[in-house]
Amino acid sequence: MATRFERDSDPAGPVVSGFAGGGFRIDGEVFAAALLTPKAALRWDAPAIEALDEAALAPLLKLDPPPEFLLLGTGARLVHPPRALVAGLAA
What CA–CA distance (Å, rounded) separates 73 from 79? Answer: 9
End-to-end Cα, the chain, rounded Å: 43
Choose among 12, 18, 50: nearest CA to 31.
18
Q: Say yes or no to pLDDT of 8 above 80.
A: no
- Write down the pTM of the prediction: 0.66
User: What pLDDT digit, counting tens, does each position of 11-66 carry?
Assistant: 788 999 998 778 889 999 999 888 888 888 988 888 889 999 999 888 888 888 88
**Cα dist from 57 to 5, 8, 19, 42, whole Å:** 33, 30, 23, 12
10 confidence band (pLDDT: 50, 70, 90): confident
